[in-house]
Structure 1
Amino acid sequence: MLVELAVGDAYGAGFEYAEPDFVAAHNTLRGYVSHPTHGQLPGAYTDDTQMTLALAELLADGDPWTPEHIAERFVDAFHRDPRPGYAGGFQAFLVGVRTGADFLARIRPHSDKSGAAMRVAPVGLLSTVDEVLHRAEVQARVTHDTPDGIASASAAALAVHYCRHGLGPVAEVGAWIADRLGSPVWARPWQGKVGSKGVMSVRAALTALAGHDSQSEVLRACVAFTGDVDTVATIALAAASWVLPNDLPQVLLDDLENGTYGRDHLAQLDARLRECG
């Protein structure tokens, strides 16, 4: 799961908020694309994967799932491997904090954007819906303590849970989540450009996931929406990795970054996470 979502993140990063004509011309899956204006290296993942990695390591290590431990992991993950991709204000915030306690003391957790949803995939591996929802909410409240911030994180985690545990046809994932969260919005197909709100990214990811039969088709569909497509692809491939054929082009796997916390580290952590469900 972590390798696949990192591929989605890194591939989508080349198209994030790019012009539709650029997306249409280059969304071929033939390799990573250099963004027309950003400085991101092709094949490098972004904050979506780095923050997911922080939560995955916390879950795999079995440490208490508390705001203090979650914040500490976010700080550690950033400072051990600084990278672009974070929103400017949040990146500056992370540069200035060195401990989880400092993070919690200084954060203003009032966002309804996609940060809590993009990183929550490991929580979906847990064995019960109640535990998934509890841990999704705890981690969301650290930075996105708003109704939509929490709901979008919950929906993204439930998508992974639904697929990981084979709870029904993939085409019905949105309806199942809508029933669990008591809101029909998750069953409504997304159309058009994806903005920064968490609900937008998760709805787009669910639409791509439910409407396609392989991981490569899901990835192309996520990017074709335009907008915040690296986040859409991260969320969608985290779930798709458990239920749809993995036909991602080998070039995307081979060219995914593989430094200290790159492809091999993600694959090793994937193996540990399989014991969490």
Structure 2
Amino acid sequence: MSNDRWDRACLSLDGLSIGDAFGQQFFSPHVAAEANRHNPPAPPWNYTDDTEMALALMETLRECKCVDQDFLAQRFAERFQSEPNRGYGAGARHLLENVAQGESWKTLSQQMFGGSGSYGNGAAMRVSPLGAWFADNIEMTIEQAALSAEVTHANPEAQVGAIAIALAAGWAWRCQSEPAEALIPWVISKIDQSEVRRRLEWTASYPLDTWAFTIASQVGCGHEISTQDTVPFCIWMAAASLDDYCEAMWTAARVGGDMDTTCAIIGGIIALRVGPSGIPDDWKRNREPLGWNNSLI
């Protein structure tokens, strides 16, 4: 197997995990008040469950070459047990604790929220490396992103959101010469009718130089921790700052909301456009070490 897909998945993981760790710092009032481009948050930047779950997905792709849902559920549970204090939400904690005890992930996922399944933003926050892995196959991107989401998020909105982010990530790598304005309409054309799509269609009506706060005020920026109020903003932000990783991170952090997750999603997409050199070396050093073996073998 070529290393290309692994290398680009690792690139997306870097963008995701550094964004996650950067955005997380802004939940500190001191950082939010004083940090700026000339005075970034002091290291180390600790990452959250966004990165932990992305690492589990990466391990699954490395081992299985696709989304084996049982394997992925087990890796989620094992990583949760190893480091349970990474900011997991109550629903995720309940599901992963019970998976670790041998219960069926499928039953647990479907039973969440009275049987409607979760539409939280957790499936979208971790998926950009999968979009990188399958970037040369759109149909597989859609199929595998949905499978990765279903393990924890049975609600269709969460699955559409994960598909949208995976598609955006693949597009960022594959369409280097395409203008940023092409990203949102292309993603819209590939996803099912849903609230995620409706809000994304709304963002498409605004120029990419629109004030980011305006977009967030209309479609959300993760305050509800839902897919619907996170994914459309993140795809718009990725398009608006497609060639400037740092600008995207600072803007998303200043807008607020679920800042670790919005920065993680946006970062995982943009990294595939700007490449390794587009992420500052000091940011890479500031993020705490991931503590995993990133070799393909």
Aligned equivalent of 1:133 = 142
Aligned equivalent of 2:284 = 253
TM-score of the superposed pair, with normalisation by structure 1: 0.81
CA contact (8 A) 2:149 2:162 kept: yes
Aligned equivalent of 1:176 = 186
Per the alignment, in what secondary structure is the counterpart of residue 197 of structure 1?
A: coil
| In structure 1, distance between residues paired with 2:153 and 2:104 | 17
Is 1:71 aligned with 2:85? no
Aligned equivalent of 1:188 = 202
| In structure 2, distance between residues paired with 1:64 and 1:160 | 17
RMSD, matched Cα: 2.7
Aligned equivalent of 1:163 = 172
For the structure 1 residues 164 and 99, does the alpha-carbon distance in structure 2 shift closer, same or farther, using more than 3 Å as the test?
Answer: farther
Identity %: 25
For the structure 1 residues 24 and 147, does the alpha-carbon distance in structure 2 shift closer, same or farther, using more than 3 Å as the test?
Answer: farther
Aligned equivalent of 2:82 = 80
CA contact (8 A) 1:71 1:142 kept: yes
Give matches, 1:1-277, under 5 Å: 1-16=12-27, 23=32, 25-28=34-37, 30-32=39-41, 42-62=44-64, 65-98=67-100, 101-107=103-109, 108-109=111-112, 110-125=117-132, 126=134, 127-166=136-175, 168-182=178-192, 183=197, 185-189=199-203, 190-192=215-217, 194=221, 195=223, 196-212=225-241, 213-244=243-274, 246-258=277-289, 260-261=291-292, 265=293, 268-269=294-295, 272=296
CA contact (8 A) 1:215 1:237 kept: yes
TM-score of the superposed pair, with normalisation by structure 2: 0.76
- CA displacement 1:142-187 (0-9 Å, x = unmatched): 2211121111111110111101211732332111101111545324
Aligned equivalent of 1:36 = none
CA contact (8 A) 2:92 2:152 kept: no
CA contact (8 A) 2:105 2:151 kept: no
Segment drifting more, 2-11 vs 166-175: 166-175
Segment drifting more, 54-63 vs 105-114: 105-114
CA contact (8 A) 2:105 2:152 kept: no
Unmatched runs of 5 consecutive residues or more in structure 1: 34-40
| In structure 1, distance between residues paired with 2:51 and 2:159 | 19
Segment drifting more, 129-138 vs 74-83: 74-83
CA contact (8 A) 2:58 2:129 kept: yes
